Amino acid sequence: MTDLDQNTEQLIFRAARKVFTLKGYNGARMQEIADEAGINKALLHYYFRNKDKLFEGVFGDVLKTLFPGLTNILTADLPLFEKIPLFVCQYIDILTNNPEIAGFVLYELRLNPQRLVGNMRDIGIDMNLIRSQIESEVAAGIIRPVKPEHLIANLISMTIFPFIARPVLMSVAGMDEVHYTKFIEERKRIVPETIIQSLKPIQ
Amino acid sequence: MTDLDQNTEQLIFRAARKVFTLKGYNGARMQEIADEAGINKALLHYYFRNKDKLFEGVFGDVLKTLFPGLTNILTADLPLFEKIPLFVCQYIDILTNNPEIAGFVLYELRLNPQRLVGNMRDIGIDMNLIRSQIESEVAAGIIRPVKPEHLIANLISMTIFPFIARPVLMSVAGMDEVHYTKFIEERKRIVPETIIQSLKPIQ
DNA sequence: GTCTATAAACAGATAGAC
DNA sequence: GTCTATCTGTTTATAGAC
């Protein structure tokens, strides 16, 4: 493989990632990907056989952008009240740089949940680890009891949803682009605060 | 118009709603809608001219399922601590009966945000009303100060997201169908509890 | 490796019989 | 109103020249 091969392949891949995440599998056109990459349609098939294979590659790549950080922070050896702000900040930064990938992944997974199967390793969180951390912090009187599924669901929901629902939130709350950007930045503080307040024991 | 006309039209419309919400605009096929309705493809065009017009109808219908309840409860004349559980319960019931519409609407809106334009009346929430309610409850010492955008975002996020992220949540938390159903039912209690705890003034 | 040209399949839409 | 048959444009994919 020459340098040129790799460059073209990467060029195509990046173009494909852009078009697929923006338009979805069904909305994406091989022609548009070729145009975006500045090459010919036939080359897509030369490097990636067909649309499905190209998509699989992109989808796996996007999952890698989205999940490993999640798993690592959530299972790190830190108190919950430190983990949570870390998680939120890192995730909001990732999504600010890739605003469309959350909606893209969740939508494609609903159309075709099997797509998870091949990528399970990157995604699974050790719930028992989180469960035992909760138990020990409850025992120490730091937090109130909470089911790990709900804690994780609350955390992920409040962090990710504003990116998926951007147009609706802007419309419902009457925000423009500038307000929305500020709003997202504020959530780095608001989301951890909301969860931590809800976890504090009643005095 | 005879009875038969109306029946066929409704038959088509329901079939279209099912296929569009399940597959999205780009993934839906006129043939599949016709099959689902048990009629011929040509009839779709007889009743609804083209795919776009049929979709517009369905999309407006889905918005009506999703939004009016939201607006009405959030602007009702009730204390926040009563409004919030009401909102969550009603919304979870709607989404339990229509599990795919939240993801459908948000995705189609991201592909084409202009679709909101024609339906703005159903959707807009009077943020000033909520803002002044927050102010008066803060003044009365019932809640801590909070920006209305963030309160609404937290509420909607935690309520809706678990339906959009169903496959991921099930995978991440290792849930099966039964666990997931129970999990969703539990959220009617957990979500209001989380928000209300986070709003309570520090004693 | 990269291109042009084209095949092959599909999907939306229409014509016209009943 | 409902159907079958068909047209038209689009889209994925391949053949083959360079």
CATH code (residue A133): 1.10.357.10
Asked if residue A125 lies in contact with residue B117, where contact means CB atoms within 8 angstroms, the answer is no
Same domain assignment for residues B107 and B87: yes
Taking an 8 Å cut-off on Cβ atoms, the answer to whether A153 and B162 are in contact is yes
Same domain assignment for residues A30 and A116: no
Chains A–B, number of C-beta pairs less than 8 Å apart: 166
Question: Which of B162, B167, B193 is closest, CB to CB, to A113?
Answer: B167
What whole-number distance in Å separates Cα of residue A154 and Cα of residue B194? Answer: 9
In this structure, is the CB of residue A31 within 7 Å of any atom belonging to strand C?
no
What whole-number distance in Å separates Cα of residue B22 and Cα of residue B43? Answer: 21
Same domain assignment for residues A112 and A122: yes
Residue A104 sits in which domain range? Answer: 51-199
Ranges in chain A, pLDDT < 70: 1-6, 122
Same domain assignment for residues B35 and B109: no
The CA dihedral of B74, B115, B99, B184, to the nearest 10 degrees, is -40
Distance A30 CA to D12 C1' (A): 8
pTM of the model: 0.95
What whole-number distance in Å separates Cα of residue A21 and Cα of residue A15? Answer: 10
First to last CA, chain A: 66
Kindly write down the DSSP assignment for every residue of chain A, as one continuous string: --HHHHHHHHHHHHHHHHHHHHHHHHH--HHHHHHHHTS-HHHHHHHHSSHHHHHHHHHHHHHHHHSHHHHHHHTSSS-HHHHHHHHHHHHHHHHHHSTTHHHHHHHHHHH-GGGGGGGHHHH---HHHHHHHHHHHHHTTSS----HHHHHHHHHHHHHHHHHTHHHHHHHHT--HHHHHHHHHHHHHHHHHHHHHHHSPP-
CATH code (residue B9): 1.10.10.60
Each residue's pLDDT tens digit, A83-104:
999 999 999 999 999 999 999 9
In this structure, is the CB of residue B26 within 7 Å of any atom belonging to strand C?
no
The count of C-alpha atoms lying within 13 angstroms of the C-alpha of A42, restricted to the half-sphere facing its C-beta, is 0
Same domain assignment for residues B41 and B69: no
**Can you list the alpha helix ranges (DSSP code H) found in B75-176?**
80-97, 101-111, 120-123, 127-139, 148-164, 166-173
Same domain assignment for residues A4 and A62: no
Same domain assignment for residues B10 and B72: no
Q: What is the pLDDT of residue A124?
A: 77
What whole-number distance in Å separates Cα of residue A143 and Cα of residue A165? Answer: 31
Q: What is the pLDDT of residue A4?
A: 45
Taking an 8 Å cut-off on Cβ atoms, the answer to whether A168 and B27 are in contact is no
pLDDT of chain B, 203 residues: tens digit per residue: 444 456 999 999 999 999 999 999 999 999 999 999 999 999 999 999 999 999 999 999 999 999 887 788 999 999 999 999 999 999 999 999 999 999 999 999 999 999 888 777 767 788 999 999 999 999 999 999 999 999 999 999 999 999 999 999 998 888 999 999 999 999 999 999 999 999 999 87
In this structure, is the CB of residue B31 within 7 Å of any atom belonging to strand C?
yes
Distance A42 CA to D17 C1' (A): 14
Same domain assignment for residues B16 and B57: no
| B180 to chain A: closest CA residue | A149
Q: What is the pLDDT of residue B73?
A: 93
Same domain assignment for residues A63 and A131: yes
For residue B200, give the amino acid letter.
K
Same domain assignment for residues A44 and A60: no
Same domain assignment for residues A9 and A63: no
What whole-number distance in Å separates Cα of residue B71 and Cα of residue B51? Answer: 30
Q: What is the pLDDT of residue A1?
A: 43
Which of A135, A136, A134 lies closest to A195, judged by CA? Answer: A134
- Flag whether residue B24 sits within 8 Å of chain A, measured between CB atoms: yes
Tokens 């996020």 found at:
B157
Asked if residue B82 lies in contact with residue B137, where contact means CB atoms within 8 angstroms, the answer is no
